[in-house]
Amino acid sequence: MKEHEDIPGHVFPRQLGRPLAAAVAANGCWIEDADGRRFLDASGGPLVVNVGHARPEIAQAVHDQIVKCDYVHPTMFTGEPVESLASDLARHAPPGIERFYFMNSGSEAVETAVKLARQIHLEQGRPQRFRLISRWKSYHGLTLGALSATGRTSFRKPFAPLLPETAHIEAPYCYRCSFGKRYPDCGLHCARALEEAIENIGPETVSAFLAETVSGATIAAAVPPPGYWSAIRAICDKYDILLIQDEVFCGLGRTGHWFASEAHAVEPDIVTLGKGLSGGAMGLSAVGIRQAHFDCIRQGSGAFAHGGTFSHHQVACAAGRAVIAILEKERLVERVARLGPEIGAALRERLGEHPHVGDIRGVGFMWGVEFVQDRATRTPFPRQAKVTERIWQQLYDRGILLYKSIGLAGTHGDAMVLGPPFTMTEEDIHRVVEELAAALDQVVPR
Ligand X SMILES: Cc1ncc(COP(=O)(O)O)c(C=O)c1O
Residues near ligand X, by CB under 6 A: 46, 105-107, 110, 139-141, 212, 216, 246, 248-249, 274
Return the closest-CA partner of residue 132 out of 171, 164, 107. 164
Work out how close the CB of 140 gets to ligand X at its nearest, in angstroms, rounded to a whole number.
5
Distance CA 346, CA 429 (A): 9
Return the closest-CA partner of residue 29 out of 366, 399, 328, 348. 399
195 or 212: CB nearest ligand X: 212
Distance CA 206, CA 197 (A): 10
145 or 358: CB nearest ligand X: 145
CB neighbourhood size of 346 (10 A): 21
149 or 439: CB nearest ligand X: 149
370 or 428: CB nearest ligand X: 370
Work out how close the CB of 7 gets to ligand X at its nearest, in angstroms, rounded to a whole number.
23
Work out how close the CB of 238 gets to ligand X at its nearest, in angstroms, rounded to a whole number.
26
112 or 207: CB nearest ligand X: 112
Instruction: Please report the DSSP string for 178-216 in residue order.
Output: TTS--TTTT-SHHHHHHHHHHHHH-GGGEEEEEEESS--
Distance CA 68, CA 75 (A): 19
79 or 364: CB nearest ligand X: 364
Sheet holding 167-169, edge to edge: 97-103, 285-290, 270-273, 242-246, 206-212, 131-135, 167-169
Q: With beta carbons less than 8 A apart as the criterion, state whether 143 and 111 touch.
A: yes
Work out how close the CB of 219 gets to ligand X at its nearest, in angstroms, rounded to a whole number.
11
Let me know how long the chain is.
446
- The three-class DSSP label of residue 63 is helix
Distance CA 317, CA 313 (A): 6
Work out how close the CB of 263 gets to ligand X at its nearest, in angstroms, rounded to a whole number.
16
- Estimate the share of the chain in helix, then strand, then coil, as percent rounded to the nearest 5: 40, 20, 40
- The three-class DSSP label of residue 413 is strand
Distance CA 131, CA 201 (A): 9
- The three-class DSSP label of residue 66 is helix
271 or 372: CB nearest ligand X: 271
Work out how close the CB of 181 gets to ligand X at its nearest, in angstroms, rounded to a whole number.
25
Q: With beta carbons less than 8 A apart as the criterion, state whether 99 and 288 touch.
A: yes
105 or 388: CB nearest ligand X: 105
Work out how close the CB of 171 gets to ligand X at its nearest, in angstroms, rounded to a whole number.
12
Work out how close the CB of 403 gets to ligand X at its nearest, in angstroms, rounded to a whole number.
9
104 or 394: CB nearest ligand X: 104
Work out how close the CB of 426 gets to ligand X at its nearest, in angstroms, rounded to a whole number.
26
Work out how close the CB of 180 gets to ligand X at its nearest, in angstroms, rounded to a whole number.
27
110 or 360: CB nearest ligand X: 110
Distance CA 249, CA 221 (A): 10
Contacts of residue 172, Cβ cutoff 8 Å, sequence gap at least 6: 190, 191, 215, 222, 224, 225, 228
Residue nearest to ligand X (CB): 106
Work out how close the CB of 338 gets to ligand X at its nearest, in angstroms, rounded to a whole number.
24
246 or 435: CB nearest ligand X: 246
Q: With beta carbons less than 8 A apart as the criterion, state whether 346 and 430 touch.
A: yes
Contacts of residue 244, Cβ cutoff 8 Å, sequence gap at least 6: 110, 113, 114, 117, 208, 209, 210, 211, 268, 269, 270, 271, 272
